[in-house]
Amino acid sequence: MSTAEIVRERLAAERAAGARFDAAWERALADVALVEDGKELRDWVEALHATERDWREAFHRLPARRHVLAVARLAPMLNGPVDDFATIGRGSGLLRMVA
């Protein structure tokens, strides 16, 4: 399971259990710390904090904003370490949470 999928799964499980986003988010970040370390962990934490609003909106089942949809469209063309994070917009992450 990718790091983005771990975050998505934790948030989905917390939402199903009736948790508030802030508590669920802290648990999701703690899960990331269990599977990543060093530079990878710092990069993931930075990326997740930068997209926290989008995760929050998905958690509350709000429609995805244009930039999230744009990343989803561009993601298949990206290479390197962004690929795992980019899957957020392609159905295995953020956008799938709002479905």
Give per-residue pLDDT as tens, 1-58.
Answer: 889 889 999 999 999 999 999 999 999 999 999 999 999 899 999 999 999 999 999 9
- Of 71, 62, 56, the residue nearest 20 (C-alpha): 56
Least confident of 21-30, 41-50, 75-84, 87-96: 87-96
What is the average pLDDT across 76-91? 50
User: Rounded to whole angstroms, how far apart are CA atoms 26 and 67?
Assistant: 24
pLDDT of 72 strictly over 90 = no
For the chain, domain boundaries: 3-97
- Of 23, 33, 38, 11, the residue nearest 98 (C-alpha): 11
Q: What confidence score (pLDDT) does residue 88 get?
A: 44
Q: At 79, is the pLDDT very low, low, confident or very high (cuts 50, 70, 90)?
A: low
User: Rounded to whole angstroms, how far apart are CA atoms 86 and 76?
Assistant: 8
